Structure 1
Amino acid sequence: MQKHITVNLPISEEESKRRVPNAFDKKILGEYVEDKDENEIKKYKFLISLKKLWRLTNRRDKLQLIGIFLLTIFLSIMETFGISVIMPFITLAASPQRILTNKYAHAVYEFFDFSSTTHFMVTFSVILILFYIFRAAYHVMYSYVTNTFSFRKYHNFALRLFGKSLELTYLKFTFTNKDRLRQVVTGEAQNTASFLQAVLSFLSDILTALFLYSLLLVTNWKMTLILTLILAVKVLIISKVLNKIIVDQGQKRTKYDQTFLGLLSRSFGNFKLTKLRGNQDELYQIFSETSLKRGKSSILVSTLSVTPRMLLETVGFSLLIASVAYILIRYNDASAVLPIISMYALALYRLLPIITNLLSKYQSMLYQQNSVNIVYEALHEVGEEKGYEPVEFEKDIELKDVDFSYIVDKPVLQKINLTIKKGQKVAFVGPSGAGKSTLVDLIIGVYHPKGGNVCIDGKPLTPANLDSWRRKVGYIPQQIFLYDGTVAANIAFGEVEDEDKIIEACKKANIYDFLVEHKGIKTTVGDGGVRLSGGQLQRIGIARALYNDPEILVLDEATSALDNDTEARIMEEIYKSSENKTLLVIAHRLSTIERCDTRVEVKACKSS
């Protein structure tokens, strides 16, 4: 005889869910600017991004960054030396007699006992060539070190973000945009690593520029200051105009990427519906428009990144050429200043691209700073506490005054009391959206009560023992998720594939004979299980649920999409497989639950 229990819920599950705001929609800039208004926050946003990036690094990263900084200093010294040595080399090559008249050159000449000035210059040339070879090798090594550091940080960011995503509570995951999650783990992690790489490159260029600028000041401070003034005005104008555009494009890029991923998921996630709707043209048009917007944003940023370089090089070298022309007109002889002009030409040849690169990297960081904020916030999301303290289930599951709500002051469950004996077959029935799934999800530990306790043999479920409890549950949903892989991989679902256990689970689910006709448990199912029928999909789902021999088996509308005959056969297999297990069945059809010994009727009623 079937026992009947009625549970009245104060508000429907679906209505409550609709009222829940998406927590990921709220973007905070950090605790450093809580008291500032929005306009002030924009001024500090880049500095905040840098501080957040620093906080995203661990102690080992910081030590490696110190090492990279020391390598950067040595690189900048080499760059400066490589340019400063050109002036004496050209001077001595043009007038070898100066080797004997210059006290420094003469001291070196005497110390190494050169036989002639030609011997001195040949040795000088060989040493310079060897230096430039070493400089090139050092550049390659430095690039390898910084790129390796950046890639490892990308790996670290992506791994931590993936881990954080898995640590989300099921409640929070339910209201999280899945395409946004994917974008954060892949795209935003990559952009954050690129931001870090840009910071390292920016630092290297700053040091090199300072050393080179100091060299130019020592060589001719008047000429250097004039060049500085003119170039500074240009840089200021470029920065003011371009940076605002690039920041705006960075924000648009984030929006376009999310739209892009969402479109792909909608189109490929239900391909059959796409075909039946026949709306390929509309989807194609949306894809085209979004792709064009992304492309235009990238084109604009790429074009603007080239503009500063061309302007600065044009101005810098025009001034240098004008200086040479002035000397020729004024003195009719440029030989006296040829070494200085040569050094300035080489210095500007290195300095102008560095300044351009500084602007480009700064603009790149502005473009990517939104990713740093997103990654920082995602990594500081409060995850679900985990614990593996053993839970013994020998007697019963008891709900004691259980309260639950999706949002504060909007209860879904209030003061629910229910006892389920071990081995009992319990059916949860009621209208759609009444809260059947919510109630069962609380029992199996997917959701956490806001009040009261779920007790196992009198012991409350807590974060310390929640994972151990969940491992006792086998879950069969209405929609079975299968990815494009083998039956074995889909049944093990990320765990070690135990062939004997998989075959045993397939036999219990009555799917093994079908698999033997193909490639056994190595049969591929296709993306979403498209190569299987509805009944075969459900049987794979049952085998997956039975793989670890759970003590509790949950059917969440698991057969509602099947015809009556197929449902009857599958339910027979489920009842047979769960003979010694506790069975929790959520269903609409009475035929599905006719063999359950207890029926819990869930009714939604408005709270006062």
Structure 2
Amino acid sequence: MIQVLQNLKIILTKKQKKDAFFVFLITLFSAACETAVLAVMYAFISGIISFENLESTRLYRILTNVFPFVEPQNYIQILSIILAVSCIGKGFVSYYANRKNYKFSNGLYYTLSEKLYNNFIYNDYDEIVKINSAVILKSITQDTVNTYILVRNVISLFQELVIIILMAGYLVIQSPSVILISGLGCIGMFLCMKKAVTSPIKKYSERRLNAIADSIKNMNQTNGSIKMIKINHLEADFKREFMSSVKNVKDNTVKTDTLGMLPKVFLENVSMFFLFFLVAFLSMIGNNIIGLIPVLATLGMAMYKIIPGISRITTYYAQIMQYVPSMQIILDTYGHCNSKDIEQNRKYAREQKIAIELQNVAFKFTDSDKMLLKNVNLKINENQSIALIGETGAGKTTLADIILGLRKPSSGAVLVNKKNIQNFPVWWANQVGYVPQFIYLTDDSIKNNICFYEMYDEKKMISVLKDAQLWDFINSLPQGIETVVGEQGVRLSGGQKQRIGIARALYKDPAFLVLDEATSALDNETESAIVETIDYLKSKLTVLIIAHRLSTIETCDHVYRVFDGKIERER
């Protein structure tokens, strides 16, 4: 638990630490109100049972000194009113304390989600591609929720613990022997149970989280491979792998839940055992049971809060231990959150002329010793069209990624209009249009897939639809550009998806256009039309084409071959 609190100290912001302190104070006040109601209840029961000797009680003497007009009959009435008002007031305080708890813990969930998403989306492209998508998805969606539950349970556990300590302390003052014997017995049993279940809960919780990650990964793989699964009738094989991970989730969840429930069930019964055993024992040794009635009645009222409170504490503790692995994952990621000041929404004017120069660009992947590109030098003048060809794996796409600014060269620089693009990433991003080989489409309308978070402009939309040879197709659809394409464009053909990708790139009105095998999924007739469009666009922008089809690059101004880490001009 101490480690959990230390981790929270790292995770919480300065403002959240202040909020946590306020929650701590209101929790203390709520616990004090609970104890105050218990004290009034004790005085009320004692007054009723010892009505004849009421004037000799300490509380009555204090009350009559403050209010001399108080009579024995008035005393009970006043206590009844105080008790009624106290119960209502306690309820409001308890509601407010819980509301602040939920607001604080949910605010932490929001902050964690934002931090982790920032860490992912603002990270370097080289780092992003190394991470399994299932791990990212689990961290942002599952581990943040688990950590939120953990924090909420920590606060709730503290609240219950303070209530129990204050109530037990008050009861000890009233009857030390009864409370100390039963309390020490319960505490001893709780510590034994805690020690027995903590380690297994953490172990099974880690296994459960790993199994959840595996199930997400299997689901992603199923979704991405669905066509191959159906063609090869591999449904049973994929199901077997998915259900294996789901079974691991189920088995480990059963174990953690069962272990978490054990202390609750055990302590409820042990607490009552000690209480009734003490009553029997005190009666056997000749104690006046009538005199113990106020204590026992108050103890019974306290047990109404304490026993469920102990049960909740054990449940909270079990869940905290269950979600500690998630908190550790958050902490490991949190410490490496990317805090770059990204000018995400800033728009730069389109450059009328783009001249690109690669100066001694070299590149190797961080997990490899082999240089993929070696001292590449290349000039792309304004409104030129350049083609890159070469064998698969030669480094064509990597070179394009470096020019786009997605990857940083190991050495050398990419200059655009004499500016190093690494120093002006947002400016350069505003000048670039990119059409990959595989177009990702969201489950949204054609219009939104082309705009892709750009403001909608009808004239610009019509223009790019015509340039991408989509105009006739769109007009043939009943809903036109409002037609929903389905997840990853499942309702479109490969050529239609590719043309939407080209339209998306053109909608940005780029000064530099990169097409990475962008016509590979098109038929010959459509490809010819797209090549004509690209040829027409050359007069307005600079174009870089990566292609295997020679027909795609026939009209390019220059063709370069990439091989052995070098680049040579072929024509």
Q: Partner of 1:275 in structure 2?
A: 230
Which residue among 446, 450, 460 is the counterpart of 2:410?
A: 450
Does 2:335 correspond to 1:380? Answer: yes
Larger RCO (CA under 8 A, 6+ residues apart): 1
Q: Give the conservation status (yes or no) of the 8 Å contact 2:178–2:278.
A: no
Amino acid at match of 1:176: I
Distance in 1 (alpha carbons) for counterparts of 2:108 and 2:70: 55
Tell me the secondary structure at the aligned position of residue 601 of structure 1: strand
- How far did 1:578 drift? 4.2
Which residue among 419, 425, 428 is the counterpart of 2:388?
A: 428
What is the root-mean-square deviation of aligned Cα atoms in Å? Answer: 2.3
1:117-164 C-alpha deviation (Å, 9 max, x unpaired): 334313321221221122122212221111111112111211221122
Mapping of residues 134-533 of structure 1, within 5 Å:
134-331=89-286, 333-381=288-336, 383=338, 385=340, 394=353, 396-407=355-366, 409-462=369-422, 464-518=423-477, 519-533=479-493
Is the alpha carbon distance of 1:155 and 1:497 closer, same or farther for their aligned partners in structure 2, counting shifts above 3 Å? farther
Is the alpha carbon distance of 1:550 and 1:600 closer, same or farther for their aligned partners in structure 2, counting shifts above 3 Å? same
Q: Give the conservation status (yes or no) of the 8 Å contact 1:99–1:106.
A: no
Distance in 1 (alpha carbons) for counterparts of 2:390 and 2:273: 83
- How far did 1:108 drift? 2.1
Is the alpha carbon distance of 1:269 and 1:384 closer, same or farther for their aligned partners in structure 2, counting shifts above 3 Å? farther
Q: Give the conservation status (yes or no) of the 8 Å contact 1:392–1:456.
A: no
Is the alpha carbon distance of 1:101 and 1:94 closer, same or farther for their aligned partners in structure 2, counting shifts above 3 Å? same
Q: Give the conservation status (yes or no) of the 8 Å contact 2:495–2:521.
A: no
Q: Give the conservation status (yes or no) of the 8 Å contact 1:488–1:499.
A: no
Amino acid at match of 1:477: P
Distance in 1 (alpha carbons) for counterparts of 2:106 and 2:333: 20
Is the alpha carbon distance of 1:287 and 1:410 closer, same or farther for their aligned partners in structure 2, counting shifts above 3 Å? same
1:209-263 C-alpha deviation (Å, 9 max, x unpaired): 3212322332233333322332233122211221111101111121011111111
- How far did 1:411 drift? 1.9
Q: Partner of 1:43 in structure 2?
A: none
Distance in 1 (alpha carbons) for counterparts of 2:429 and 2:179: 71
Q: Give the conservation status (yes or no) of the 8 Å contact 2:460–2:507.
A: yes
Q: Partner of 2:569 in structure 1?
A: none
Distance in 1 (alpha carbons) for counterparts of 2:81 and 2:538: 84
Does 2:73 correspond to 1:118? Answer: yes
Distance in 2 (alpha carbons) for counterparts of 1:303 and 1:336: 42
Tell me the secondary structure at the aligned position of residue 285 of structure 2: helix
Amino acid at match of 1:553: L
- How far did 1:498 drift? 3.2
Q: Give the conservation status (yes or no) of the 8 Å contact 2:353–2:541.
A: no
Is the alpha carbon distance of 1:343 and 1:395 closer, same or farther for their aligned partners in structure 2, counting shifts above 3 Å? closer
1:403-454 C-alpha deviation (Å, 9 max, x unpaired): 2111264322121111111111111000001100011111121111121111
Is the alpha carbon distance of 1:601 and 1:466 closer, same or farther for their aligned partners in structure 2, counting shifts above 3 Å? same
Q: Give the conservation status (yes or no) of the 8 Å contact 1:97–1:117.
A: no
Q: Give the conservation status (yes or no) of the 8 Å contact 2:351–2:511.
A: no
Q: Give the conservation status (yes or no) of the 8 Å contact 2:41–2:83.
A: no
- How far did 1:346 drift? 2.5
Q: TM-score, normalised by structure 2?
A: 0.92
- How far did 1:271 drift? 2.6
Mapping of residues 555-574 of structure 1, within 5 Å:
555-574=515-534
Q: Give the conservation status (yes or no) of the 8 Å contact 2:351–2:431.
A: no
Moved more, 386-395 or 271-280: 386-395
Distance in 2 (alpha carbons) for counterparts of 1:512 and 1:563: 17
Amino acid at match of 1:511: L
Q: Partner of 1:589 in structure 2?
A: 549
Structure 1 spans left out of the alignment, 5+ residues:
1-45
Moved more, 413-422 or 350-359: 350-359
Is the alpha carbon distance of 1:469 and 1:129 closer, same or farther for their aligned partners in structure 2, counting shifts above 3 Å? same
Identity of aligned residues (%): 30
Q: Give the conservation status (yes or no) of the 8 Å contact 1:49–1:373.
A: no
Distance in 2 (alpha carbons) for counterparts of 1:283 and 1:236: 45
Is the alpha carbon distance of 1:175 and 1:107 closer, same or farther for their aligned partners in structure 2, counting shifts above 3 Å? closer
Is the alpha carbon distance of 1:477 and 1:368 closer, same or farther for their aligned partners in structure 2, counting shifts above 3 Å? same
- How far did 1:103 drift? 4.2
Tell me the secondary structure at the aligned position of residue 559 of structure 2: strand
- How far did 1:186 drift? 1.0
Moved more, 282-291 or 155-164: 282-291
Is the alpha carbon distance of 1:213 and 1:101 closer, same or farther for their aligned partners in structure 2, counting shifts above 3 Å? closer
Q: Give the conservation status (yes or no) of the 8 Å contact 1:512–1:520.
A: no
Distance in 1 (alpha carbons) for counterparts of 2:321 and 2:221: 31
- How far did 1:264 drift? 1.4
Q: Partner of 1:5 in structure 2?
A: none
Q: Partner of 1:128 in structure 2?
A: 83
- How far did 1:570 drift? 2.6
Aligned pairs, number: 560
